[in-house]
């Protein structure tokens, strides 16, 4: 289950950025998970909920956006989102396609709570 190591890296990255910006806590992490990334969203959420305890992300909201597969057809030039497990251009049925999104996982944004002292 590589989701645990992904969460470990995500928590480390979040804490490094929080410390760099003098934040007390991370309040939100927003990620994008491509369908072809090999990451199982339910397992990732469970791992995050398990391992966030005792970290700067302990009370962070964890938002996942699932990215479908997006391809560009080398024959007709159109960009399309694949709706099924057929790797053919939905417009011209060509098998000559290039995957342009849906294979990766990204940290899209994070929100931090900083110390704001009244003067």
Question: What is the domain partition of the chain in residue ranges?
Answer: 3-112
β partners of residue 64: 31
The CB density around residue 58, as the number of other CB atoms within 10 Å, is: 10
CATH of 3-112, one of 2.30.30.240, 3.30.300.30, 3.40.50.300, 3.30.2320.80: 3.30.2320.80
What pLDDT score was predicted for residue 119? Answer: 35
What pLDDT score was predicted for residue 118? Answer: 38
What pLDDT score was predicted for residue 2? Answer: 83
What pLDDT score was predicted for residue 116? Answer: 60
**What distance in Å separates the CA atoms of residue 102 and residue 50, rounded to the nearest whole number?**
26
pTM of the model: 0.82
**Cα distances (Å, whole numbers) of residue 61 to 22, 43, 80, 112, 117:** 19, 16, 31, 11, 24
Q: Which residues are annotated as a binding site for Ni(2+)?
A: 2
Per run of 10 residues, the mean pLDDT along the chain (length 119 residues) is: 88 94 95 95 95 95 96 97 89 96 94 69
Between helices 41-51 and 3-20, what is the axis angle to 10°?
50
Q: Which residues are annotated as a binding site?
A: 2, 73, 76, 89, 92
What pLDDT score was predicted for residue 85? Answer: 79
What pLDDT score was predicted for residue 70? Answer: 96
**What distance in Å separates the CA atoms of residue 82 and residue 89, rounded to the nearest whole number?**
8
């Amino acid at each position: 289950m590589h989701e645990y190591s992904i969460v470990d890296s995500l928590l480390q990255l979040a804490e490094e950025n929080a410390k760099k910006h003098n934040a007390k806590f991370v309040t939100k992490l927003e990620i994008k998970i491509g369908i072809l990334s090999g990451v199982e969203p339910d397992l990732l959420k469970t791992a995050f909920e398990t391992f966030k305890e005792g970290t700067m992300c302990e009370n962070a909201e964890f938002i996942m956006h699932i990215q479908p597969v997006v391809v560009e057809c080398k024959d007709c030039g159109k960009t399309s989102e694949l709706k099924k497990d057929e790797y053919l251009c939905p417009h011209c049925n060509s098998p000559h396609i290039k995957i342009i999104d849906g294979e990766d996982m990204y940290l899209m944004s994070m929100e931090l709570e900083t110390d704001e002292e009244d003067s």
